Amino acid sequence: MPDGTLPWVSNPVAQDILTYVQIAYPIVLICIYIITFTIRSITTARNDDHDNLEPEQLGPGGKPLPQKSKKKEPAIPNDFDFSRPRKLLFEWLSLGVLGSIGGNIAVVIVHAIVGREEHWWCGQSPTIYLVGSFMVYALLLITMIDSKPSPTLAHLVTWIAASLMEIILLGASFGLYSREHREPRVGDPGGGELQEDMTEFEITEVTLDLVRIIFLLALVGFYALFVFLQGYKLKAEAARAEERQSLLAEDHVGNGAAGGAANGYGTANGKPRGPIEAPAGWEKPKETPSRSWWEYLRAYTVFLPYIWPYKDRMLQVNFILCFVIVGAQRVIQLLVPIQAGHITDILAGVKGPVYMPWGAISLYIVFRIFQGSNGLLGAARQVLWIPIEQYSYRELSVAAFEHVHMLSLEFHLGKKTGEVLSALGKGSSLNTFLESITFNVLPMLIDLGVAIVYLLISFDSYYALVISVITFWYIYITIRMASWRAD
């Protein structure tokens, strides 16, 4: 029997495992990282904003002074932070994982060039796996370099999941390549040249996969080892500190010395260890605050009563209608290109004889009238939002006015007028911030997600992959530029 008439001889189970796991690999990893990162951010967020407030103090006239909180340093940090040499080890191992993915991509490119006469091509699932995995591991490496502490539990869970899936892929690859199989070609994953054993390219691919598994297991192992050693060290230091602890109270001045220290032994050069008083909320911070996104979101909830019009039912209806309009705008945003494609197909004769599609063109014009922030829906949303914006501005202004005038004479004598006015101005712009996030940023992210899903279903995974990569770098560069401006 000639080679051209040989049937499909590769293992279908191994091929199916490779196909499904390769497609799911980057999606599962990025979802695991995002979910773990979110849970970690919430659980490790500082929650001492209201627990360490001083008792209310009254100034001249019996009016309250601004409350100040006490900075409280936790005895054991919520997250372990590693030393610089250990961080470099994690970064180099992550770079090795990224390099192994790059090596697989290079193997595919070289193989496609060498086997161009046989029309060899790896197919869609390996392309999604390689490009998507490269982006995920690049994200993990960037977050380790930029963030502190790093690496975190989110990295560890992602590495464990990646190790398990890589082992599955390695076993499926051995099961497929170690017996008779046909190489993939353009448009036909089983129509290429028949191979009785592993080729040089397949051996290189499997070797790189094995190296990647070793790097991932090393990342998991070193993380567990360093956390164990650091936890043991912290416990030992806490035990030694407890042995050296004074028998007297921390706030007691020992031995009758007027300049006694907080350690209770009356040393002249002792340093008190009491809580440090944090600056008032209206004062300009001397350094950029380091807070997580969850802490900012939780602090922002203080202003929700001033933004949600709980006193006016009509304004509440306007508020809900604004969000309904935003949802309708997303639908129109999707229907416009679909309708344009329908008109193009009719004019090109794809769906039958060519004719002038007046009905389709009229419907397209209607969609365009409603589309965008300058369309009818956008204008209606802006009109409905005006009374809500005025309500929020009025409530915030009245609250700020009452708060400033309830402060003590000491505050008014020692205040910095410029900083107070700046704080009031920033408070009045909260509504603008809410509008920008709700009606600009979130719809843009939703549009990008819808575009990726629509291109994946209606066209090809390559289009969705390109949009995903561009979206990733766009969001990352935007966040980094905003961070650089803040610093």
Q: Is 53 contained in some domain?
A: no
Domain that holds residue 232: 11-42+81-239
Question: What pLDDT, in 10s, does the model give residues 266-292?
Answer: 444 444 444 555 555 545 555 555 666
Question: What pLDDT, in 10s, does the model give residues 443-455?
Answer: 888 888 888 888 8
Judge if 333 and 466 occupy the same domain.
yes
Q: What is the pLDDT of residue 391?
A: 85
Judge if 170 and 310 occupy the same domain.
no
Is residue 79 over pLDDT 80? no
| pLDDT tier for residue 425 given thresholds of 50, 70 and 90 | low
Under a CB-based contact definition with an 8 Å cutoff, are residues 57 and 64 in contact? yes
Judge if 216 and 95 occupy the same domain.
yes
Is residue 359 over pLDDT 80? yes
The CATH number linked to 472 is 1.20.1560.10
Judge if 347 and 228 occupy the same domain.
no
Is residue 75 over pLDDT 70? no
Q: Is 100 contained in some domain?
A: yes
139: burial class by Cβ within 10 Å (0-12, 13-18, 19+)?
middle
Q: What is the pLDDT of residue 368?
A: 94
Of 239, 260, 286, which residue is a domain's last?
239
Q: Which residues fall within 8 angstroms of residue 405, CB to CB, at 6 or more apart?
A: none
Q: Is 75 contained in some domain?
A: no
Judge if 325 and 423 occupy the same domain.
yes
Judge if 316 and 406 occupy the same domain.
yes
Judge if 234 and 317 occupy the same domain.
no
Judge if 235 and 348 occupy the same domain.
no
Q: Is 89 contained in some domain?
A: yes
Q: Is 1 contained in some domain?
A: no
Tell me how many degrees the CA angle 57-49-152 measures, rounded to the nearest 5: 160
User: Around Cβ 184, how many Cβ atoms within 10 Å?
Assistant: 20
Distance CA 50, CA 44 (A): 16
What would the DSSP string read from start to end of 139-185? Answer: HHHHHHHHSSS-S-HHHHHHHHHHHHHHHHHHHHHHHHHTS-EEPPB
Report CA 322 to chain centroid distance, whole Å.
27
Q: What is the pLDDT of residue 279?
A: 55
Cα distance between the two ends of the chain: 72
- Phi and psi, residue 277, nearest 5°: -80, 125
Question: What pLDDT, in 10s, does the model give residues 256-268?
Answer: 444 444 444 444 4
Q: Is 278 contained in some domain?
A: no
Question: What pLDDT, in 10s, does the model give residues 98-128?
Answer: 999 999 999 999 998 988 888 888 888 899 9
Of 185, 217, 239, which residue is a domain's last?
239
Domain count, the chain: 2
Judge if 452 and 338 occupy the same domain.
yes
Q: Is 74 contained in some domain?
A: no
Of 239, 269, 292, which residue is a domain's last?
239
Judge if 16 and 165 occupy the same domain.
yes
Q: Is 394 contained in some domain?
A: yes
